[in-house]
Amino acid sequence: MRKANFLTAIVIMSLLAFFMVRGIPTVGAESDDITTLIQTANTPEDHMKIAEYYNKQAEHMDQMAKMHESMGEAYSKRSKPMSGMANHCAKLSKDSKESAAQYEAMAQEHQQMAHEMMDHDSH
């Protein structure tokens, strides 16, 4: 029974990870679009779009951190704990939190650029 519950949990977590990753605009055309926007940004609106992109990336990384934290807890709560896997998940959670903070900082920089452009235009 425990093995079935564990396998069910793994399948559910895998599906959650798959669907969370699918919703993030980091592949294909959207990735090309953000790269082009970064290269050509020259209006406050452009910088706000970039900030929005980075905020979405930060949200995604926060979700990934929570997911890995949950997975680590599941590994450590097993009747025969798997400390290697729990440690792996803890590292991924920490890395994801750090990435989220970096994305948030990048979003703030672009928001600041947009505000500075708007202030400059109003003078």
Where in the chain are the domains? 2-122
Give the pLDDT confidence of 94-122 residue by residue, as tens digits.
Answer: 999 999 999 999 999 999 999 999 988 77
Residue 103: which of 35, 56, 44, 64 has the closest Cα?
56
pLDDT at 24: 47
Tell me how far CA of residue 23 lies from CA of 17, 50, 79, 107, in angstroms: 10, 17, 35, 19
Torsion, Cα 103 56 21 23, to 10 degrees, reads: -160
pLDDT one-digit tens code per residue, 5-37:
665 656 566 655 555 554 544 455 677 899 999
Q: How high is the pLDDT of residue 83? A: 83
pLDDT of residue 116: 94
Region 67-92 average pLDDT:
92
Per residue in 48-75, pLDDT tens? 999 999 999 999 999 999 999 999 999 9
Query: Which residue is listed with tokens 């930060």?
Result: 58
Which residue bears the tokens 């900030």? 51
How many angstroms separate the CA atoms of 11 and 16, rounded?
9
| Alpha-carbon separation of residue 34 from 44, 52, 81, 121 (angstroms) | 15, 11, 43, 25
**Encoded tokens for 79:** 């009747």
